[in-house]
Structure 1
Amino acid sequence: MKTATPAMARAINDRLALDLLLARGPLTAPQLRDLTGLSRPTVSDLIERLRSAGLIEVTGESGKDRRGPNARLYGLVAERAHVAGVDIRWSGLSVTVADLAGREVGSAVHEPSDDLHAAIAEAVERAAGGRALQAVVLGSPGLVHPQTGALTSDSRVRGWRPGLPAELRRTLGVQVVLENEVNLAAIAEHRAGAAAGSADFVLLWLDDGVGGAVVLGGRLRRGVSGGAGEVGTLDLGLKEATFCAALEAKLTPAELAARIAKGVFTIVAVLDPGLVVLGGRTGRQGGDALAALVEEEVARRSPAPTRVRASTVEGNAVLQGAVLTALDLARDAVFG
Structure 2
Amino acid sequence: MSPTNLRTFNVVVLGIGFLFVFTAFTTCGNIEVRTGEKHSCCSSQCISSINLQATMISEHACIIVAVVGPQFTMIISGILYSGYIAVFINPSSWSFYLTSLLIGLGAAMLWTAQGHLLVENSDVSTINRNTGIFWAFLQCSMLFGNLYIYLAWTGKTEITDANRRILFIALLVISVLGTLSFLTLRRAWQREEALTEEEGQALLSARLLGTKTILLLSSCMAYSGLELSFYSGVFGTCIGATTQFGDSALGLIGLSGIVVGVGEIVGGGLFGLVCKNNRFRRTSVVFLGMVVHFVAFYLIFLNIPDDAPVVFYTSTQQKPYLTPRYVPIQPALKATFSNSKM
User: TM-score with structure 2 length normalisation?
Assistant: 0.23
More strand by share: 1
> Which one scores higher on RCO, CA 8 angstroms, separation ≥ 6?
2
**Higher helix share goes to which structure?**
2
